[in-house]
Amino acid sequence: MPVRAPLVAALVLGSSLALTPAPSSVAAPTTESATQLATPEVLTVPVGAEPDGTKVRLDVSVWPQASGRRPVVLLAHGFGGTKESVADEAAQLQERGYVVVAWSSRGHGQSGGRIHLNDPAYEIADARALLDLAAKRRDVELDGPGDPRAGVMGASYGGALGLMLAGIDRRVDGVVSAITWNDLADAFFPQAAVTRSATTAAGRHPIGVAGPFKQVWATNFFLSALRGVAGEENGAGAAATDRCGRFDPTVCRLFVQASETGKASPQLTALLRAHSPKPTMNAVHAPTFLVQGVADSLFGLDQADATASALAATGTPYAVRWSDGGHDAASTHEAEEVEASYTWLDHYVRDKAPRESALPTAAFTYGTPAGRPGQPTALHNLPAYPGLSGAPVETRELPLTTTGGSLLHPPGGQPASLIAVPGLAALGVSLSTYQVAALPGQSAALDSSPIAEAATVVGSPTMRFTVTSDTSDVTLFASVWRVTGGAVTLTNPLVAPARLTVTPGRPTPVTISLPAATYEMPAGTRWRVLLTSTESTYSNSREPSRIRIQDASALTLPVATGTEVGRVAVAGVDTETLIASALLALLLLLALAGWLVRRRRRRHLPSRPDLADVPLVVEGLVKTYSDGHRAVDDVTWRAEKGQVVGLLGPNGAGKTTTMRMVMGLISSDAGSVHVLGEPVTAGARVLARVGALIEGPGFLPHLTGRQNLEAYWAATGRRPEEAHFAEALDVAALGGAVDRPVKSYSHGMRQRLGIAQAMLGLPELLVLDEPTNGLDPPQIAAMRPILKRYAETGRTVVVSSHLLAEVEMTCTHVVVMHAGRVITQGLVADLVDSDDTTILDLGEHVDHDVVSAGVHALEATRGVTDVRVDTPTRLVVVAERGRAEVVAAAVEGGLPVVGVSSRRHLEEVFLGVISSASAPLDGAEPGDEGASLVERLRQVRAR
């Protein structure tokens, strides 16, 4: 779940807000549950008046504690923010058992007054007044009279305030100070030209000349304070006040002046230096936790380095944490940094740990870049800040292959190289590419030799070279790039600016401290130090110059090998993994449960021992398709051993549906199918005793006929010897074609192969749907004895066919279906042969009237129950009297009888039973009956 990055994003300027995923906050030991926590009290606190005598009241919120006396934390916001910016942290600290005081700083939010940029006489004095206020509260724990047990925490503007307050007021017992300055003059006029090599990781001892003006950041800083008053009604309306917004007029004037000239006036330098922790650092005795960002082109790591050095000099406990965030980007370890800050306060403020006690966090933590952008950095710990524990910083030399170059400073300072754009990194935009950074003629690239052994650089690399120029004022911007094959990438969007005063034409040696950061150095890559004469985020001189760089020394790299902090241990299992694993487990459980239920259900299907000797019993089968069509309706029949059963019926009678149900291909809505007493369901074992051809054969087209039979048999999993391939192939009678791919077969060949496949393994029940489909008459004739002989071996054959004559000749039994029902069934002989029926064949060209008269005469004869005109030359007479008497009566009636038979064709039986089933109330003329029935049956049965 994305949560708003708590510390940096809320405390610093609005530009670097970012959303980062963070693990749910670690449960802190609390004495009260969240519901009991009181809401903040809002106070207005009168503090020192402005220089012009205007009274100032601060807008303060206090998060109280309900019971007992508790330590207090002053929570300071960042520049341009208000007390609301830190409300989340305030609530978290309150939950941890602190009284929290947050206020809108002078000139911010609802507080009165003007911005003095952390003036000890104003902003710092205000904070002291708040300590006094805390000391008077009933819920605040006291170290002594008027001395509350107090911590101060803040980032950027608030971070500097914390350090300065601790330097001025000894009542402060612990400080957490993030991404802030040590010397504001140095931050706005940075100078990377140093007098000597650093003894600490990111240390920088600048020469006595102020660096170039950090124009873009200064303007951002300035504008962020103006934004606050943009919509505000200003009664005074003085033009000067408008332009300065809520800035103190002096601060404003000096800033505007610097922006115009690009140079630091002595007054401004003095003011900025005084508004910094630096002058009072040696008086700080409260244990201090410093968080400084690598992605910070405003207050670099050198600022925290200076603060840490000052703390080390006085023996004050401190810890330094290098974040991968800062004013340019959000940290990827936001939650851990906040947690470490709270731990620091808990240790030194709440638990009153002695100064000699072990630090609650690692003395130094830094991150190495992750493999991919957007990923958290890998954190490493060192037992001490490099260079401050007594031992010197571990360094390594990296020789350069290019040791010089020349470059121009363009007239007017334009176009300017684009390397570091403040705030852009927070948007995930890596704007700077080598093409816009290394403008032709305006840059010099100093390449190193390939790195032999991989290492991690932690701090500021330094190098020396000489500068020759035709002007006395030279400005250079150094940035560090990595060269891989053809690609040049910027390691960190930071520049180290150096402003030198030289004698024109004379080489001047200079030592440059490159941007402090953590750099990964994979073996095989090369480094490139890019020196440019301009940088777009700085105020560039308008005067043109020509600069030559010579005799560049090897790079001195501070390296470190810290203990990697286990990322998993810190982050735990993240929410996404948890959700996905839970879902996966749930699905697997569901699958397992479904499987178990099905297994149980399958066991409970009863078999019918009484039917064990009957190859096929179909009982009460019903099938209604999803469209409501009832294809099979209460169908019951059986096939005994040795029978050849014909399943007859017009199209749509339900024959194929019944066959599919018999084979378990479709499920029945009611009724049952038993093969040899075993119930048939989808894939039932007993189906191994059944061979079938249903609605045409199906083969793998790329295999030959023989391979298809073998593949089919392989799918049954049964012993190859049981297959009887030879007999089956004999039935197929494909000759040489058996070894050709099936896709080359004709319809009849496939049909024969299909029958052969059904006969594989010589099953006890052979079910053939339209087996003669596509066969020519000789093949049909050959089929007949095969099926008959097959049944004679004690096996059973079920054949469905439209060829009634064929069925009559092949089958012993028939089942006639119509409209989903069985309308008659029995022995073929019984159906076609009956004692009470006489067929009379009449001579050709017989007169219709004669026939009509004869039929009427026959009908009038006693004992004759029915006379039907089958065709114009054929009469079917049903009578209770002997056949001879019927013939005699017919002849008597004048009918020209030329033939007499007792046997009907199956076709007649079929049409007869269907006509009586579909039209029982038929009252049509006897002569028309046959014709209309055939016509009706010709129509496809409506669904």
Partner 1 sequence: MTAKTHVPRTPPSLELTQVRDPLSWRAELGRQWGRRRTAWAFGLLLALPLILVASFAFGERSDSSRGGTTTRIFDLAQSGAANFSLVLVFLASELLLVLLAALFCGDAVPSEASWASLRYLLIAPVQRARLLTSKLAIGVASTLLATVLLPAWGLLVGGLAYGWDPLTNPIGENLTWGQFLPRLALAMGYIFVTLLPIAAVAFWLGTRSDAPLAAVGGAVLVSIVLNILDQLDALDPYRNAFPGHYSRAWMDALAVSPDYTDMLHGALWALVWAVAFTMLAYRRFRRSDILS
Among 703, 846, 853, 857, binds partner 1 (CB under 8 A): 703
Interface segment toward partner 1; rule CB under 8 A; list 146-154, 713-721, 861-869, 935-943: 713-721
- Please give the size of the binding site for partner 1, defined by CB under 8 A: 91
* 722, 830, 835, 892: residue in contact with partner 1 (rule CB under 8 A): 722
Quote the tokens at residue 297: 């082109």
Residue 575 CB, shortest distance to partner 1, in Å, is: 9
What x-and-dash track marks residues 618-657 binding partner 1 by CB under 8 A? ----------------------------------------
Task: Closer to partner 1 by CB, 703 or 887: give it.
Answer: 703
- Between residue 517 and residue 536, which ones bind partner 1 under the rule CB under 8 A? 520, 522-525
Tokens read off for 500: 């030198």
- Smallest separation, CB 806 to partner 1 (Å): 15
Q: Decide if residue 331 touches partner 1 (CB under 8 A).
A: no
Q: Which stretch binds partner 1 (CB under 8 A): 235-243, 386-394, 584-592, 883-891?
A: 584-592
714 near partner 1, judged by CB under 8 A: yes
Is 105 or 368 the residue whose CB approaches partner 1 more closely?
368
Per the CB < 8 A criterion, the answer to whether 13 and 79 are in contact is yes
Residue 603 found at the interface with partner 1 (CB under 8 A): no
Q: Whole-number minimum distance, CB 716 to partner 1, in Å?
A: 5
Given candidates 406, 667, 871, 939, which one binds partner 1 under the rule CB under 8 A? 667
Q: Is 1 in the site for partner 1 (CB under 8 A)?
A: yes
Q: How far is CA 167 from CA 285, 305, 753, in A?
A: 8, 17, 100
Measured distance CA(611)–CA(825) in Å, rounded: 19
Using CB under 8 A as the binding rule, whether residue 747 contacts partner 1 is answered as no
Q: Is 285 exposed, middle or buried (0-12, 13-18, 19+ CB in 10 A)?
A: middle
Choosing from 138, 372, 600, 845, the residue that interacts with partner 1 (CB under 8 A) is 372
99: its two tokens: 């009284």
Q: Which stretch binds partner 1 (CB under 8 A): 272-280, 755-763, 812-820, 845-853?
A: 755-763
- Write out the binding residues for partner 1, residues 869-888 only, by CB under 8 A: none
Question: How many CA atoms, within 13 angstroms, populate the side-chain half-sphere of residue 204?
Answer: 32
Q: How many CB atoms lie within 10 A of CB 848?
A: 10
Q: Which of 730, 847, 866, 880 binds partner 1 (CB under 8 A)?
A: 730
Q: Does 590 bind partner 1 (CB under 8 A)?
A: yes
What residues have CB less than 8 Å from 378, skipping those under 6 apart?
A: 367, 368, 370, 564, 565, 567
**Residues 400-439: x/- map of binding to partner 1 (CB under 8 A)?**
----------------------------------x-----
The length of the chain in residues reads 943
Give me the least distance between CB of 627 and partner 1, in Å please.
12
Query: Which of 240/578 has CB closer to partner 1?
Result: 578
Interaction between residue 790 and partner 1 (CB under 8 A)? yes
Site for partner 1 in 456-515 (CB under 8 A): 482-489
Is 118 or 525 the residue whose CB approaches partner 1 more closely?
A: 525
Per the CB < 8 A criterion, the answer to whether 617 and 611 are in contact is yes
DSSP string, 305-370: HHHHHHHHHHT--EEEEEES-SSSS--TTHHHHHHHHHHHHIIIIIS---TTSPPSS-SEEEEE--
Scanning residues 377 to 396, which ones bind partner 1 (CB under 8 A)?
A: 378
Listed residue (256, 228, 199, 207) closest to 392, CA to CA: 199
Backbone angles phi, psi at 716, to 5 degrees: -75, -20
Binding-site member from 793, 865, 871, 939 for partner 1 (CB under 8 A) = 793
Cite the DSSP H helix spans in 73-205. 87-95, 123-135, 157-168, 184-188
Enumerate residues 682-701 that contact partner 1 by CB under 8 A. 682-685, 687-690, 692, 694-701
Instruction: Work out how close the CB of 579 gets to partner 1 at its nearest, in angstroms, rounded to a whole number.
Output: 8
Among 28, 229, 786, 913, binds partner 1 (CB under 8 A): 786
> Is residue 843 involved in binding partner 1 (CB under 8 A)?
no
Q: Does 222 bind partner 1 (CB under 8 A)?
A: no
| Binding region for partner 1 (CB under 8 A) out of 151-159, 367-375, 388-396, 907-915 | 367-375
Residues 201-220 binding partner 1 (CB under 8 A) are none
Alpha carbons 509 and 503: distance in angstroms, whole number: 11
| For partner 1, the closer CB: 266 or 486 | 486
Contacts (Cβ under 8 Å, ≥6 apart) of 234:
241, 242
Q: Using the rule CB under 8 A, give the single segment among 180-188, 495-503, 581-589, 856-864 that binds partner 1.
A: 581-589
**Helix segments in 433-495, DSSP class H:** 434-437
DSSP-assigned beta bridge partners for residue 487: 484
Q: How far is the CB of 702 from partner 1 (least distance, A)?
A: 6
As a whole number of angstroms, the distance between CA 525 and CA 450 comes to 5
Closest CA to 651 of 395, 914, 467, 281: 914
| Residue 555, C-beta contacts closer than 8 angstroms, at least 6 positions apart | 397, 398, 399, 400, 448, 461, 462, 463, 514, 527, 529
Coil, helix or strand for 576?
helix
Per the listing, tokens 């002695």 go with: 354
Nearest distance from C-beta of residue 556 to partner 1, angstroms:
22
The dihedral formed by the CA atoms of 167, 171, 175 and 179, expressed in degrees to the nearest 10 = -40
- The answer to whether 566 contacts partner 1 (rule: CB under 8 A) is no
Q: 496-501 and 473-484 as β-strands: parallel, antiparallel, unpaired?
A: antiparallel
Determine which residue in the list 68, 441, 794, 863 makes contact with partner 1, applying CB under 8 A.
794
- Between CA 81 and CA 14 the distance in angstroms is 8
Neighbouring-strand partners of residue 508: 467
> Distance between CA 76 and CA 81 in Å, rounded?
10
Note whether 591 binds partner 1 by CB under 8 A. yes
Output 583 or 891, the one with its CB closest to partner 1.
583
